[in-house]
Amino acid sequence: MIVLKKREKELEECLKETDISIMLSQIQPHFLYNSLSTIRELCREDPEKAQKALEEFSAFLRGNMESLRSKVPVPFSREMEHVKHYLHLEQIRFGDDLHVEYDIQEDDFFLPTLTIQPIVENAVKYGVGNKEEGGTVWIESHREGKQIIIIVRDDGIGFDVDEFEHIPIQKDGRTHIGLSNVKHRIEKMVNGTMTIHSRKETGTVVKITLNAER
């Protein structure tokens, strides 16, 4: 029995390390390079805007580092602060091609750290970012009885959800593993669910459902 418990603890620690490794992979080099390139251009064209972008960039990196140290669910409001830093930087880069709309009716709850940001990043990079005329990302949260509902949707190019289950390789060598990890942590840490609905050339909707009475 003692050996079994020791083995279970070792497996639990291994899973934590795996989660951290996957979360670290979400700090994508392409985003860092793009952000720094944008800031460099702004230094020449609009120093005041460059300073604001640098502040957002620093806050984003700090948020990522703090998230990696958190092993318990965090307030939704804290998660959204991190998401907004990310989106502000992307809006500076994409300009009028990226619109963001918020409808946050409920924020008094907890969820695994780095839950929303990978979903939003997926919407920007693989959805709206691949659409010639750009598009919009919507983020909303509300309560339905004893449940908290979070929805992230976009009107980008969409993808085949059946392929998502097999974690398809993208052109840049990356996969949708970020979404797979989010789904896994939501189920494991807060007993919630995550569903994805997408239609090519129409957009994607990611819905998270949490128990409001934990």
Predicted pLDDT at 179: 83
Contact 123, 137 (CB under 8 A): yes
The number of distinct structural domains making up the chain is 1
The CATH number of the domain holding residue 55 is: 3.30.565.10
Q: Which residues contact 102 (CB under 8 A, 6 or more apart)?
A: 138, 139, 140
Q: What does each of the 214 residues of the chain score in pLDDT, given as a tens digit?
A: 554 455 445 445 444 544 555 455 455 667 777 888 888 888 988 888 888 888 888 888 877 776 666 678 899 999 999 999 999 999 988 989 999 999 999 999 999 988 999 899 989 988 898 888 999 999 999 999 999 999 999 999 887 777 655 544 444 444 455 788 889 889 999 999 999 999 888 899 999 999 976 5
With DSSP H G I counted as helix, E B as strand and the rest as coil, what are the percentages for the chain, rounded to 5? Answer: 55, 20, 20
Does this model's pTM top 0.85? My answer is no
Q: Domain containing 142: what range? A: 2-211
